[in-house]
Amino acid sequence: MTPFHLAFPISDIEETRHFYGEVLGCQMGRFTETWIDFSLFGHQMSGHVRADAAPAAASGAVDGHSVPIPHFGVVLQMNDWKALAQRLEQAEGIDWIMKPNLRFEGQPGEQATLFIRDPSGNALEFKGFSDLEQVFAS
């Protein structure tokens, strides 16, 4: 699989550096005063400072929770997802949309998920699968 690239709006370089670098543990790449790159589990994420950046509205439903559309994130092996979930649960100031949760238990596509917001209000979802062959199972 090749990495994807996503450019997304941010309100502050330093808050973004701290959140993605320190809280999520992403490796930081290049940066200027107006943009910053990270490796989000091997995918290239570029935060660009935008004065008009606004949080996504909650408009989707996941297991009875209202979740923002759009949102972005990564599908992880279950062990990596559990480590990330534990890291986030221990961190201070996480803006939780939906705390760690198991979906479709015992069914095709069983997955763990969690939703958070970054300091700029961007919504992120992280999914964990014990078997990545189940990602598109129906």
Query: Which of the listed residues 10, 34, 50 is the one where a domain comes to its end?
Result: 50
**Hey, what amino acid is at 19?**
F
Assign 61 a pLDDT band (cuts: 50, 70, 90). Answer: confident
52 three-class SS: coil
- Given a contact cutoff of 8 angstroms between Cβ atoms, the answer to whether 88 and 94 are in contact is yes
CATH of the domain at 35: 3.10.180.10
The pTM (predicted TM-score) of the whole model is 0.91
The range of the structural domain enclosing residue 20 comes to 1-50
pLDDT for 115: 96
Handedness of CA 102, 17, 72, 46 (dihedral sign): negative
Does 63 score more than 90 pLDDT?
Answer: no
**DSSP codes, 98-131:** EEEEEESTTSTT-EEEEEEE-TT--EEEEEEES-
Task: Tell whether 124 and 74 lie within a shared domain.
Answer: yes
